[in-house]
Amino acid sequence: MKTYHVVYERDAAGWWVASVRRMRGCHTQGRTVDEARRRVREALGLFVEDAGSARLVDHVQLPATAAKAVRDYASLRKQAREQDRRAVAAARRAVRILQRGQLKMSGRDAAQLLGLSHQRVHQLAQDA
């Protein structure tokens, strides 16, 4: 499967222009990036036979402030996913400690202490 890189740029009229890199003359436009994305495959089909199965890689050109905002968001989401993973591991450990050993706490009591539903405590206990 061939890969094509597509650049999306906003024109003066507010349309998104999609241009396939290294494919001179292969471009289209749309009112939205999504519309331009759908149309670019059709435009590519006029130049190559594998357009229907080709992998398209998007490169949306944004003003510097917008690009930075998107990068910042992506970075924070990545950090949040890692924190979520760590929180689940800590919850599993807490459930294991509360329900086993000398405490032998019920799932409902453990849920109350951890601020979780008793169903979630049961899931965590099964995972551990």
pLDDT at 128: 62
Q: What is the pLDDT of residues 22-52, one digit of tens each?
A: 999 999 999 999 999 999 999 999 999 999 8
Terminal CA-CA length for the chain: 42
What is 3-61's CATH number? Answer: 3.30.160.250
CA distance 49 to 46: 8
- Entry pTM: 0.69
Q: What is the pLDDT of residues 70-108, one digit of tens each?
A: 999 999 999 999 999 999 999 999 999 999 988 999 999
Spans of all domains in the chain: 3-61, 66-127
pLDDT at 39: 95
